[in-house]
Structure formats: structure tokens, C-alpha cells
Chain A
Amino acid sequence: MNLLLAAVAIVVVAGGVIAVSSRESRPAILGLTLAAVAAPLVADPLPDMLPLASRLVAAILGGFLLWVAVRGQPATRGSRLGWPVEGLLAAAAAVAGFGAIGIVAPGPAAEVLVGAGRAVVAPREALAAGFATGALAIGPIFAGRDVLRLGTGLVLAVLAAQLVRVGLAGSPSGLEQIVTAGLTVVVAGASATLAANAVQSGRGLEPSTVPRPAAGPRPAAEPGGETGEEASPRRFGPRSAGRRSLPGRWGRR
């Protein structure tokens, strides 16, 4: 096991956990950006300078687009399970991924291949990070009405697929890195477009055709409720009763 690769893989997974757990938009986007920045570094050999730069720029640009889109909407739905559960889920998936290389590609041929004149080494750390990131992405993708959370899950899914690819087939070509960078930006940009339109519609980040209160803190000026500061969600942790009360006449008395 390469300790440096393992450390970078842990950064990727930690970023993913923050991204899916946080109930504030900015930490969620920061976590996602952290994961996207670190993901291309989980490779042996490292990508060339230009493809690596394109991945890093794409990660930062994707995060910036999301950041701009949700400037007026500090709260997102976050994980219902809380960050400890998400972290344990990611850890379990990472362990499974680390061991899966023996099932997916048994034998020494899986470790070192020589193709097109260069050694292709499939690092287990990438597969572990890919499995963990993929496990983290499942919840936001399939149970996310919040468009920012959906976008977070989709970007994580792209990162997971790319990490699994590195883990199984070795470092991709520079062209594939550049195209993946484009895919990351496009997915983040599309999610940002959805989020910006959702925020503009005044219904928060959760579009719905059914009239219901949006997620997030109640405005401080709302009569008959607590202040905006009290209603703002914490960064992490499972939801406790009464933390996010419903606005207006539906709120706590």
C-alpha cells in the first residue's frame, strides 16, 4: 500500500463526507471541491501536468459555479443520517473496495501491465476511494429533492466512476482526464443552473409542485417564531427534534 496515495484517498473521502453531510451550502460545496481537487491525485503514475491542471481547474470552477448559484440560500437539506453514519458508510465501502481488487482482477496480471510502452499500475487506494465516494453519492442521487444535494451526489458519482476506472485500469490518458474535467464542469454547471433557478423561484433548493414549506431557516422577521439565528441549521450531525421548524403558521408556537 502506498501511504501517500492512501492519505490523498482519505482526503477525497473526507471531502465527500462533508459534502453529503453538511446542512449549510458553503461547507458542502467546499467539501465537494476538496474531493474533486484530490481525486485526480489518487493515481500512480500521476497525470501529466496539463491534464492534471485541467482536472484541478475543473474542480475549482465547478465548486465556484455552485457557490455562486446558492449565494442566497445558505441552507441545504444535508444528510438525514448525520456525518458519523455517512463516514462509517464510506469507511465500510472503502474497505470493500480495497479488498475487491482481488475479486475483480485476481492474480499478478492485475497488478502490473505493460501497455502502449508504459507501465499501468492499478492502485488499490483509488478503488477504495471510488467505492467510498460512490457509496456516499447514492443517497443524494436517489433520495435528494434538494437540487444542490443532487448536484453534489452527481459530481461525486462522476468522481467515483473515474476513481474506479483508475483502480481497475490504471491511470487514464491525458485526453480522458481533460474530457473528465469537462464532464465535471458541465455536471456542476448544470446543477448550479438548477440551483440558481430554484433559489430564484423563492421555494428554496427543493422544487415542488405541491405547496409546502421550503427547507432552510425561517426568516428572522417571521412573526411568532424563533430568530433566524436559532433556526439556522448546524453544519453536521443528525437532525434533532425542533431544530428546523416550519415557517409561518406551521411553525412551533
Chain B
Amino acid sequence: MSLLPFVFVAFVVGGLSLVTRPYRRWSASFGLVGLVLAIVTAALVGPDEPFVVAGGALTGTSFARLFLLIGSVAGLLLCLVAMSTTWPQTFPGATLVGLGGAALALGVVDTGTAVAAATAGAVVGILLTLIRPVSQRGLIVAARELRALVVAGALGLAATAAVAGPLAAVRLNPELIGLAYLAFAVAVAIRLGAIPFHLWAARVADAAPEVGLPLIMAWGPAAFAAVALAWADGAVAPLGQPLGLERGMVILIGVVSIGLGTAAAAAHDDLEHIVGYSIVADAGIILLGIAVLDPAAWEPTRIWLLAFVAGKSAFAAWAAAVRATFGTHRLSELRGWARRAPVLALALVAIVVAGVGWPGMAIFAARASVINLAVTGPLANAVLAAALASLLYYGRLFVTGVLAPGPAVLAGRETRPSAATFPTRFSPAVLDDLRATWTANQVAISGAVVLVLASVAVAVSGGGLGVREAAAGLPPAIGAPGESLTPANPFEEPSSEPEPTIDPRASVEP
């Protein structure tokens, strides 16, 4: 029941923002107010009894609360960054609807419904790729994105149908269980843009604004992956099939994504591509978590999911702020950026801490746990080293930043706050003064907002805000009603619905 206000706000106000997008101010106002309301309603979400609606059930969980809370806060902060950089008119509305879809996906008991909700919420994100005036290239990219989203959703729906209910073990061929598992894992790989399914994601990184990348490439796919993880651990793992070949293929996709994604991020010159491929690389860890098929991977993978979305939101916001400050997105033209924008440099330090972690931080332990559970032997060390190699592209950004400033950086906007136009006393022109202050300090404000977002990411990666407890809780498909904070054996938790049984009339064999 606690999830309903959030879902209502997200869909209604988000829809209003999208419908009124020809009227820029109305659309932005609806979106910003909606995001504030979303933060409030997300904070009210909590573990509760399932709310039965139309034969299905919705229930709040700690994980859903944290996911939606971080998503709403990140969405609002990204809006602030966008207001001072480039404002995509559909951004707040698409963010709200996307978060509404994620709320449904994380709250419904039935996995098939969750897949449909996660897909529907994400499809709205293609509006972010269509920036007016819409170019032919933008259309092609949006079409590819739509194709990837729907194909992944259809694969997920078919997979969940094939392994439906606890009787799957007695009525399904083992090969088909493996096929369904592989189909859903591939669907997650497509959504996350994992290599070799990364082409659509790479093009989106070209076409979509930086602030839109987290919604398209991180938030939506993360909700989809959370559903897949719950399904894999709750429906496939109890069937007791080894699925060696299928798991091996998923692990291969994950490892390749980590390695090649990191290499591509380190090699590219565009900030958008660096952000995009860093998302692809970190998505490899999520795939490894899905490949484990063991309750031990449940908590670390969900910790990684939360840290992933928070960290990548901050990284995308940083890229947007840098581009707006210096007017270029090419790293080769950004020599000396850190000298001119120390707040952004500090924010990048926080982003590195949030993305890479430090021994003792939740994200650091989660990454190592997932890799050690998925890969054994010396290969585990190699994969861990590849995952930590993200320091390479972060280091490249820093090295470029401390060099002598280049022409683009020297010609960039002033990053220090200006108090010249700040209203000192109340007068009828106070609104004009405030507007002038905002305009004069846009760059400084965006830098400060990025720093706040990066600090949130550090808190999440460090295990604060109740991340560990939320990640250890059970999803509604397994553990409703309520949650357990002890993930030792989540499958012993009683289900909210009566266990299906074979009809005795049908089981009578002649």
C-alpha cells in the first residue's frame, strides 16, 4: 500500500509533464514538483502487507524505497544540472514515468508483470533521445533503442512464462529451463548494453543528452536486472539444475563487458562515450551476479545495483557540467579543466571513491564477492583487476585536468560564484534579481549540485542509508509479506499466496 502514492505521483505528474512539453515552463514546473513529491512519497515506502489489486499484489520493500528515493533525488539534482546546462524538455517527465515503472517492477509479486512494467517505464526514455529538431541520426538511434528495449522485454516475458510457478521442476525439460534462464540473462545484457549487445547503447551515448544517460542506461536497466535477479534466485535456482553452459555464457558476457568496456572508456575522447562505456563495464558485475544462481550473491549484487545507479548518475552529471562549463566534450580539448573548476575536480574524486570504492566500503566488498562467487581460480583475480581498472579512465580525466589549461578551458565560463547580483533587500524587483543571480551562477550551482550528487553516491557505495539491510531483504516475489534481513536462505520464507498444487483429477493416471 505504501508504494501506491509513489506510483500515482510518478505516472500522473510525469504524464502531465510529458503532455505539456510544448509549454516549456508548465512542463518543467510539473516535472520539478513531481520529483519533489516523488522524494516525499518514496521516503514513505516501507515493508508492508501486499496490497491486492486486480488479482495481483503490490508490496513495498526496503530495497524499493531506497532505489526510488535515490532515483528521485538523483532525478531532481540532474534536473538542476540540466537547468544550468542543456534542458531536455522531456527529462523530468520521462524520469518520473521511468521511476514509476521501476516502482511497479520492484513492487509487484508476479515476475511477468514486473518485466512488463520495467519495459514500459523504460520505453518512455526514448523521448530523451529525440531532441528537437529531430535529426535522421536521432531517429535511427531512438529506433534502435526502442528495438533493444522491447526485444529484451519480450525475451523476459517469455522466459518467466516458461518457468512459471513451483511446479516447473516436474513439468519442464532441463534444457528449457536453461534456455529460459539464458533468454532472461541475455535480455538483461541487452538492456544494460553489455558487450556484444552494446551498439545501441553506444549510439544512445552519442545522441542523448548527458543528463539523460543515467535514466536510459542505468536506472531502467537496473530495475530490470533486479527483477531478473529475483527471478533467477527465486524460480530457477531452486530447480536444482546446474546450467553450466548457460551460466558460462552469461559469465563470459559479463567478463567481456568488464574488460572491453573499461578499455573503451579509457580509449575514447568523448565524455559521453567515457560515461557510456563505464556503465557498460560496471554492468558486467551485474551479469556476474545473475550468473551465480546462489543466494549468497543476492545481497552483494543488489548493493552493487544501488551503488551503480547512484555513481553513474553522478558521473553523467559531472560530464554534463564539464561540457556546459567549457563548451566542449572532447577530453583532448579539456586540458587544465581541474585547475579552472576545483569543485568539479572534488566531485570527480568523490565519483571515483563511489565507483571504485575502498576496502571496508560496501561496494568494494560487493564487487569482490560477486566476482569470487561467479569465477574461481586465477581468473577471479584477473576479472577483479579488470574491474578495478576503471581507475585508468578516471586517472586519465585527472591527468588531463591538471595539465596547463588549453584554449577551450581558458575560454570557458567562470566557475566561481558571483554575488554581484545577489538581492540584498526585498524590493519589487527581487524576482528579477534572483533570476539574474541564477543566470550569473549557473556554472557554480551545477558544480555544487554535482558535488552533492557525488556525495550521495559515496554514501550509497559506503553502505550508508541502510543499503546493506535493504539489499539483504527479499523481493515481493519471494518474501512477501514483509521482508527478512537475514539472507541465509531466502527461499524458506513462506509465500503470500497458497502454494499451487496439482489438480488431483488430472494426476490420476489410467
**Partner-B contacts on A (CB < 8 A):** 48, 50-51, 103-117, 119-120, 134, 141, 147, 150-151, 154, 157-158, 160-162, 164-165, 167-169, 172-180, 182-183, 186-187, 190-191, 193-194, 197-198, 200-201, 203, 207-209
Q: Is B356 an interface residue (CB 8 A)?
A: no
In the complex the two chains form, what is the Cα distance from A167 to B127 in whole Å?
A: 34
Q: Kindly supply a per-residue 1/0 record for chain B positions 38-65, scoring 1 wherever the CB is within 8 Å of any chain A CB and 0 otherwise.
A: 0000000000000001111110000000
User: What would be 26 A-B contacts, judged by CB atoms less than 8 Å apart?
Assistant: A105-B172, A108-B509, A109-B171, A113-B167, A115-B497, A115-B501, A117-B498, A150-B147, A154-B150, A158-B150, A161-B157, A168-B162, A172-B112, A173-B110, A174-B54, A175-B57, A175-B113, A176-B113, A179-B104, A179-B117, A180-B116, A183-B117, A193-B126, A201-B134, A207-B140, A208-B136
B498 and A115 form a contact (CB under 8 A):
yes
A190 and B146 form a contact (CB under 8 A):
yes
Q: A175-B57, A183-B119 are in contact. List 9 more A-B contacts (CB 8 A).
A: A103-B176, A111-B506, A141-B151, A157-B154, A168-B164, A173-B54, A173-B110, A187-B146, A194-B146
Interface of B is mostly: helix
User: Quick one: given A113-B165, A165-B157, A175-B54, are A108 and B120 in contact (CB under 8 Å)?
Assistant: no
Q: Is B382 an interface residue (CB 8 A)?
A: no
Q: Is B195 an interface residue (CB 8 A)?
A: no
Q: Chain B's nearest CB lies how many Å from the CB of A151?
A: 8
User: Quick one: given A114-B500, A114-B502, are A104 and B108 in contact (CB under 8 Å)?
Assistant: no
Residue of B nearest to A211 (CB): B136
In the complex the two chains form, what is the Cα distance from A229 to B264 in whole Å?
A: 52
Residues of A within 8 A of B139 (CB): 147, 194, 197-198, 201, 207
Out of B53, B127, B140, B506, which one reaches A112, CB within 8 Å? B506
Residues of A within 8 A of B134 (CB): 197, 200-201
B153 and A161 form a contact (CB under 8 A):
yes
Residues of A within 8 A of B506 (CB): 108-109, 111-113
A179 and B171 form a contact (CB under 8 A):
no
Residues of A within 8 A of B110 (CB): 172-173, 175-176
Out of A150, A165, A180, A191, which one reaches B161, CB within 8 Å? A165
Q: Chain A's nearest CB lies how many Å from the CB of B129?
A: 10
B160 and A165 form a contact (CB under 8 A):
yes
In the complex the two chains form, what is the Cα distance from A162 to B115 in whole Å?
A: 11
Residues of B within 8 A of A186 (CB): 120, 123-124
B146 and A191 form a contact (CB under 8 A):
yes
In the complex the two chains form, what is the Cα distance from A172 to B507 in whole Å?
A: 23
Q: Kindly supply a per-residue 1/0 record for chain B positions 125-146, scoring 1 wherever the CB is within 8 Å of any chain A CB and 0 otherwise.
A: 0110010001011011011001
Q: Chain B's nearest CB lies how many Å from the CB of A111?
A: 6
Out of B120, B136, B503, which one reaches A113, CB within 8 Å? B503
Out of A116, A168, A190, A201, which one reaches B497, CB within 8 Å? A116
B116 and A179 form a contact (CB under 8 A):
yes
In the complex the two chains form, what is the Cα distance from A208 to B57 in whole Å?
A: 45
Residue of A nearest to B125 (CB): A190
In the complex the two chains form, what is the Cα distance from A177 to B146 in whole Å?
A: 21
Residues of B within 8 A of A203 (CB): 136
B136 and A150 form a contact (CB under 8 A):
no
Q: Is B245 an interface residue (CB 8 A)?
A: no
Residues of B within 8 A of A193 (CB): 126-127, 130
Q: Which 6 A-B pairs have the closest CB atoms?
A: A175-B56, A115-B500, A174-B54, A169-B164, A165-B161, A161-B157
User: Quick one: given A190-B123, A197-B130, are A183 and B56 in contact (CB under 8 Å)?
Assistant: no
A119 and B146 form a contact (CB under 8 A):
no
Q: Chain A's nearest CB lies how many Å from the CB of B281?
A: 27
B130 and A104 form a contact (CB under 8 A):
no
